[in-house]
């Protein structure tokens, strides 16, 4: 037989495109359209419905950037359409390739009842099936003219990302507003042919099954009269029945399809627009659930559920019913799908506390999985947090984006820093926006790396990023491949049902230990520095507010601000979303974030001040409040007292030029260039800085990645570097206790103040940058005289080690990594810490010196600023302030302590009395991360702590209040079936494994 495969396949494509698809709607009549443009921000639904619209025609331009237009469409169903299915086709000017990234709409009935959302892949509204003929149609569309930011030529700078700079030029052309007859037989034929054509294309060219499909398709096309598609569609479908009825082979891969709409809580749109995106999507999904009995939809991010409840109560009622029916499923148990690299320990814990508690309070549902399909890598401390919140599973997809190395598993156990393991699945379909295409399903089958041991995977199915969700076409395709030869077998299931099957068939999966590093999007650790600073500051202010408010409540009856703290926590958690905290959102998002963080700081400072005033009373004694988990200046952790006096610091001229700082512990030499050429540990008789090198060295790189500007820094950025050592315009001065350095470069200026606090073994570096560069990367370098094959960087509830070498491609790919408050390097018996108050990105490299002592130089470089132009063309322009400290002679305990110290500066208050700590711990290896009152308002005191040095620890925890009982609790403050630590008078003894996290709940007498 001649090979006519290409001929038939080309025929199928053309007939589908030019004859069959257009015949889905064989008859149509135009609707009358009127529009009212809201003058500013979106208005309440009732106001939009009541507004008096003006006329507009199809073909007219509409919609200023970020505007809202209320369209009213009216018409009459023709009498001759009686007995047929009729739909309204409402095309606002969509580009079908951009669902979620352009204009969208939500359709309402005149009484304000939401009907469904409109997007490029979902433009229809059912009028009747069948209609009687003569029905009056009146619909209202709340249309959002969100501009296209990520266009066909992506990553080009645009001013459309902020309503203040976007202008008023209409963005869209009204394309179609019709009533049309819907021919379901033709629609079903389209899907028959699409499924078979896509399946056929994925089968081997010499496979029997491929040729059987080809001949069936050919017979179906022969049966179609191209001048009467609607009249011949049924007989064409009949010729496909047999080939669509052949069951899948017993060994076929099994896919659990989960209806899904990954909605970024902010990204190329502001937070306020996400509120409406969620409403549109949930309206669509509840409507689809009513029409499709097998369909199941899962939605994560409790914040988004809360938005629907608050802003769209009519949609919320439908959501609640679908949840009760088991068809609309809460997923993930987090407040938002947050970044997991940068949030601090307590913040990461509270993501689960607030997320899981919302679903429990609203629905009595506790889901068992963390659901993070799009997060940019996963910190090694996360498994313990997931488990401590009462969950045991994780789903993500993003690791498939890694550029260098292919992750070796799709289903595995992920082990964190403390030994906790979480059952983890990466969907091999390699997308969280699966549309049930044959190519996607075939890829999932071929790509699945656990063949022979497992055969179940999950496919999040529906348009996402900007929302939209699953379509009726996707559901129809899934029905055809439920049991079809040549295809994986697809069934709609909840995440819990999938995980139950996956765990049962794979009881002993492989183990991956340590962080799940994404070999992409590394620059998100640095972009939008003010957003990151706002997050870090807010986290520590919340710690202080809870600590002092709890202490004051127990000691003085101070009214604990439950509602205020709950609200602020949720706001901070929202801004940890994986496109806000990472700095990859439009200018509008970050402008609002900066203002939000300022409001949060003012509110929390007010709570802290009020609580401290209640504790110390009125008086004139100078008192120091210490919110850190370690004592300092003679003040115990969590207490307040008078500061001890320390010896002064000396500043002297350096003979070769520059200055020398000394405090009896360290001797710091700063040369005439403003660089640290010596940091001598006097007690250890040891130099910190590598011979011939200089620390506090600012370095500038070009920074123009191949794509994903705000997200990526590509390895080639290192090929060119400028050391900022030019002395033109340089000034080096002193004020008696510190050295001040000012220098200019490019269009920017930097001022640094180097100081050596009395009695402390740390060099403080305060850096102010007036930044006006573009597409540049600013680093702060510390070349250290250390031979270290690995280094530690802080993560949630502990630290994680990374190699300093690049033996393998896995190590080489980690050329930019994340730390929290500290980085620590050491040789046996002596080490160095570099701590910070607000930066996250860094790199560590090592080199062997070729002259002199031929020792090893290990260089730590802190990432300060970038200047990408997409999606925010003005990223980080302006003034920034950073604080770092170099700590010579530091062990890991010193690194932990100094990291807390630099982020929780002392507060000076005058009052009448000192404040004893509410809780004390006698072992610095055990770090208290939270002291708070229980969220249920019982007045119980909750204390959370962990082992912070990576070893086993025994500690006595003493309470400064009368205790009636104590229990071990999970993160949601629920009792665990765990042994109670040994009690002894006013204290108890705890024993912790390396990095073990524990929460105790104390009942007061």
Catalytic positions: 374
- Provide the 8-state DSSP code for 643: P
Q: Strands, DSSP E only, in 724-784? A: 731-734, 738-745, 748-755, 763-771, 776-784
Q: In this structure, what token pair is assigned to residue 78?
A: 């023709």
SS3 509: coil
| Integer Cα distance of 949 and 51 in angstroms | 64
Backbone angle region of 882, left / alpha / beta, with phi > 0 → left and psi within -120 to 50 → alpha = beta
Three-state SS annotation for 485-506: CCCCEEEECCHHHHHHHHHHHC
Under 8 Å between Cβ of 979 and 989 = no
Under 8 Å between Cβ of 513 and 378 = no
Closest CA to 274 of 673, 676, 586: 586
Q: Which is it for strands 511-513 and 489-492: parallel, antiparallel or unpaired?
A: unpaired
| Integer Cα distance of 600 and 535 in angstroms | 10
b/e sequence 703-730, b meaning 16+ C-beta within 10 Å: bbbeebbbbbbbeebeeeeeebeeeeee
Residue 446, C-beta contacts closer than 8 angstroms, at least 6 positions apart:
none
- Provide the 8-state DSSP code for 852: T
Name the percent of the chain in helix, strand, coil, to the closest 5. 25, 30, 40
| Integer Cα distance of 615 and 154 in angstroms | 56
| Integer Cα distance of 713 and 80 in angstroms | 62
Residue 405, C-beta contacts closer than 8 angstroms, at least 6 positions apart:
519, 809, 810, 813
| Integer Cα distance of 402 and 430 in angstroms | 11
Closest CA to 101 of 170, 173, 151, 165: 151
Nearest 5°: the CA angle 302, 306, 310 is 175
Under 8 Å between Cβ of 550 and 930 = no
Closest CA to 999 of 935, 952, 916, 950: 935
SS3 816: coil
- Provide the 8-state DSSP code for 342: S
Under 8 Å between Cβ of 684 and 761 = no
Under 8 Å between Cβ of 479 and 275 = no
- Provide the 8-state DSSP code for 244: T
Q: Strands, DSSP E only, in 303-410? A: 328-330, 369-371, 393-395
Under 8 Å between Cβ of 66 and 158 = no
Which residues, in sequence order, are bridge partners of residue 841?
A: 818
> Is the four-CA dihedral 94, 100, 101, 105 of positive or negative sign?
positive
Q: Residue for token digits 């100078």?
A: 622
| Integer Cα distance of 668 and 683 in angstroms | 14
State the CB neighbour count (10 A cutoff) for residue 268: 26
**Cα–Cα distances in angstroms (integers) from residue 254 to residues 257, 442, 445, 552, in the given order:** 10, 11, 9, 57
Under 8 Å between Cβ of 179 and 128 = no
| Integer Cα distance of 444 and 435 in angstroms | 13
């Amino acid at each position: 037989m001649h090979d006519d495969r290409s001929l038939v396949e080309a025929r199928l494509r053309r007939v589908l495109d030019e004859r069959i698809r257009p015949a889905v709607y064989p008859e149509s009549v135009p609707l009358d359209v009127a529009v009212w443009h809201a003058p500013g921000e979106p208005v309440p639904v009732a106001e939009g419905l009541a507004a008096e619209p003006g006329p507009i025609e199809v073909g007219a331009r509409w919609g200023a950037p970020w505007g809202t237009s209320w369209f009213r469409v009216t018409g009459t169903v023709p009498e001759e359409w009686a007995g047929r299915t009729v739909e309204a086709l409402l095309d606002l000017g969509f580009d079908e390739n951009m669902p979620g990234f352009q204009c969208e709409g939500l359709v309402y009935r005149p009484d304000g009842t939401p009907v469904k959302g409109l997007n490029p892949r979902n433009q229809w509204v059912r009028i009747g099936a069948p209609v009687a003929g003569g029905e009056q149609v009146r619909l209202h569309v709340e249309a959002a003219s969100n501009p296209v930011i990520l266009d066909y030529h992506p990553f080009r700078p645009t001013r459309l990302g902020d309503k203040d700079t976007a202008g008023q030029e209409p963005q869209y052309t009204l394309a179609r507003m019709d009533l049309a007859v819907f021919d379901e037989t033709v629609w079903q034929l389209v899907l028959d042919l699409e499924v078979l054509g896509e399946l056929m294309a994925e089968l081997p060219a010499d496979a029997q099954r491929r040729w059987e499909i080809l001949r069936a398709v050919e017979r179906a096309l022969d049966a179609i009269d191209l001048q009467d598609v609607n009249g011949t569609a049924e007989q064409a479908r009949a010729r496909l029945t047999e080939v669509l009825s052949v069951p899948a082979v017993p060994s076929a891969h099994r896919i659990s399809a989960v209806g899904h709409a990954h909605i970024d809580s902010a990204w190329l749109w502001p937070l306020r627009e996400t509120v409406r995106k969620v409403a549109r999507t949930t309206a669509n999904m509840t409507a689809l659930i009513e029409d499709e009995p097998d369909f199941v939809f899962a939605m994560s991010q409790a914040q988004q559920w809360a938005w629907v409840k608050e802003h769209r109560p009519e949609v919320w009622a439908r959501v609640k019913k679908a949840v009760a029916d088991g068809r609309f499923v809460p997923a993930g148990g987090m407040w938002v799908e947050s970044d997991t690299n940068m949030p601090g320990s307590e913040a990461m814990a509270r993501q689960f506390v607030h997320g899981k508690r919302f679903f429990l309070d609203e629905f009595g549902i506790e889901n068992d999985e963390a659901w993070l399909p799009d997060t940019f890598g996963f910190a090694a401390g996360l498994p313990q947090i997931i488990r401590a919140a009462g969950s045991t599973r994780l789903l993500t997809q993003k690791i498939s984006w890694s550029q260098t190395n292919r992750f070796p598993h799709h289903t595995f156990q992920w082990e964190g820093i403390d030994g906790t393991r979480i059952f983890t699945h990466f969907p091999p379909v390699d997308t969280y926006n699966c549309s049930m295409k044959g190519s996607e399903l075939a890829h999932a089958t071929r790509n699945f790396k656990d063949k022979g041991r497992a055969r179940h995977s999950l496919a999040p199915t529906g348009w996402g990023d900007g929302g939209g969700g699953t379509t009726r076409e996707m559901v129809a395709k899934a029905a055809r491949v439920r049991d079809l030869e040549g295809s994986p077998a697809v069934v709609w299931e909840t995440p819990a049902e999938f995980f139950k099957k996956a765990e049962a068939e794979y009881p002993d999966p492989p183990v991956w230990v340590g962080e799940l590093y994404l070999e992409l999007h590394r620059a998100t650790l640095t972009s939008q520095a003010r957003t990151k600073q706002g997050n870090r500051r807010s986290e520590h202010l919340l710690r202080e507010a809870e600590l002092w408010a709890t202490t004051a409540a127990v000691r003085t009856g101070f009214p604990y601000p439950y509602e205020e703290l709950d609200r602020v926590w949720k706001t901070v958690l929202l801004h940890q979303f994986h496109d806000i905290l990472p700095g990859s959102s439009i200018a509008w998002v970050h402008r609002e974030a900066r203002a939000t963080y300022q409001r949060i700081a003012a509110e929390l400072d007010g709570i802290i001040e009020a609580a401290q005033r209640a504790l110390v009373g009125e008086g004139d004694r100078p008192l120091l409040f210490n919110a850190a988990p370690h004592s300092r200046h003679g003040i115990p952790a969590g207490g307040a007292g008078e500061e001890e006096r320390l010896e002064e610091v000396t500043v002297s001229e350096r003979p070769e030029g520059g200055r020398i700082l000394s405090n009896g512990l360290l001797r710091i030499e700063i040369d005439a260039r403003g660089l640290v050429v010596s940091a001598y540990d006097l007690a250890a008789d040891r130099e910190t800085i590598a011979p011939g090198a200089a620390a506090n060295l600012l370095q500038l790189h070009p920074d123009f990645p191949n794509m994903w500007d705000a997200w990526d820094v590509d390895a080639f950025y290192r090929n060119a570097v400028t050391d900022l050592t030019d002395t033109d315009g340089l000034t080096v001065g002193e004020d008696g206790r510190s050295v001040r350095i000012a220098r200019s470069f490019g269009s920017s200026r930097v001022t640094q103040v180097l100081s050596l606090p009395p009695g402390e073994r740390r060099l403080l570096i305060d850096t102010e940058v007036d930044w006006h560069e573009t597409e540049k990367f600013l680093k702060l370098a510390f070349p250290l005289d250390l031979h270290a094959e690995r280094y530690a960087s802080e993560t949630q509830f502990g630290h994680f080690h990374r190699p300093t070498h690049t033996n393998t491609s896995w190590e080489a790919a980690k050329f930019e990594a994340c730390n929290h408050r500290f980085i620590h390097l050491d040789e046996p018996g002596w080490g160095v810490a570099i701590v910070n108050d607000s930066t996250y990105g860094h790199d560590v490299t090592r080199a062997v010196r070729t002259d002199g002592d031929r020792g090893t130089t290990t260089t730590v470089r802190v990432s300060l600023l970038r200047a990408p132009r997409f999606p925010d063309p003005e990223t980080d322009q302006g003034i920034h302030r950073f604080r770092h400290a170099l700590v010579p002679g530091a062990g890991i305990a010193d690194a932990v302590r100094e990291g807390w110290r630099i982020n929780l500066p002392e507060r000076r208050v005058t009052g009448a009395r000192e404040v004893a700590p509410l809780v004390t711990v006698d072992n610095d290896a055990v770090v208290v991360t939270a002291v708070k009152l229980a969220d249920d308002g019982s007045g119980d005191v909750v204390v959370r702590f962990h082992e912070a040095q990576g070893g086993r620890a025994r500690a006595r925890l003493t309470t400064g209040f009368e205790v009636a009982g104590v229990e071990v609790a999970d993160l949601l403050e629920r009792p665990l079936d765990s042994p109670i630590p040994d009690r002894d008078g006013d204290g108890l003894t705890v024993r912790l494994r390396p990095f073990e996290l524990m929460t105790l709940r104390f009942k007061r007498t």
